[in-house]
Amino acid sequence: MITGADATDTTAERSPFSDAALVAAARGGDTRAFERLYRLHSGRVLGVCLRMTRRRDIAEDCVQQTFIRAWRSLAAFEGRSAFGTWLHRIAVNEVLTYARNHGTRVEATQDDAVEESDESVATARDGVNEYDTGEVMDVERALATLPDGSRHVVVLQAVYGYSHEEVADMLGIAVGTCKAQLHRGRRLLRERLGLPENAS
């Protein structure tokens, strides 16, 4: 069953069947097949890394490390989840490892977060944009101001569509903590975006 970020992807290029064929070829040492996988999936991996780390330089390192690690672990990919989901798990692990190794949280200053938002994050998808550039930037900016715990959960769950259980597993936290962080993150986002408290 395809879950998470790949669940809503309908392009032929992202079909699980083409991924499976590319993975099989890459396992056999075909680096061109692996490059194809990189071209197909790197945009989303960078999206995850950038929103989790809030630093472009760190996020791009994370993308490289993710794909290098994926190459080295291809034999361990059993196809139980979508390839993109597996990559995201590796990417999240890379982000968390970086944070642990560097002793502090991966945190940009408020200014850095704003600058990154303006320059680097793509605007809304074509055809699904009810917000103008200014509004999208506000959402991206508000997301970047969330504390690490909440931001990680909101990015993976609300932006990339993973379930509570998947997010908890990726982040190595309890499902309950994940839900609590999501609620906290959503509450903070509403406040910062000036949205009403209740859904309706």
Q: Which range of residues in 101-109, 132-140, 145-153 is near other proteins by CB under 8 A?
A: 132-140
- Helix, strand, coil percentages (3-state) for the chain, rounded to 5, are 70, 0, 30
What is the token pair recorded at 164? 């509570």
**Count of chain residues binding other proteins (CB under 8 A):** 67
Torsion of CA 189, 151, 38, 5, to 10 degrees: -60
* Rounded least distance, CB 102 to other proteins, Å: 20
Q: Is position 187 an interface residue for other proteins (rule: CB under 8 A)?
A: yes
Considering the complex, state which of residue 108 and residue 124 has its C-beta at the smaller distance from other proteins.
124
Q: Which of 68, 100, 110, 115 binds other proteins (CB under 8 A)?
A: 68
Alpha carbon distance 121, 155 (integer Å): 14
> What is the helix (H) or strand (E) element at residue 25, kind and residue range?
helix 16-27
Per-residue contact track with other proteins, 5 to 34, x per CB under 8 A? x--------------------xx-x-x--x
3-state secondary structure of 59: helix
CA distances from 142 to 9, 36, 170, 186 (A): 26, 34, 23, 10
Q: Residue numbers of the site for other proteins (CB under 8 A)?
A: 5, 26-27, 29, 31, 34-35, 38-39, 42-44, 46-47, 50, 56, 60, 63-64, 67-68, 71-76, 120-125, 128-131, 135-136, 139-140, 143, 154, 158-161, 172, 174-177, 179-180, 183-184, 186-187, 189-190, 193, 195-200
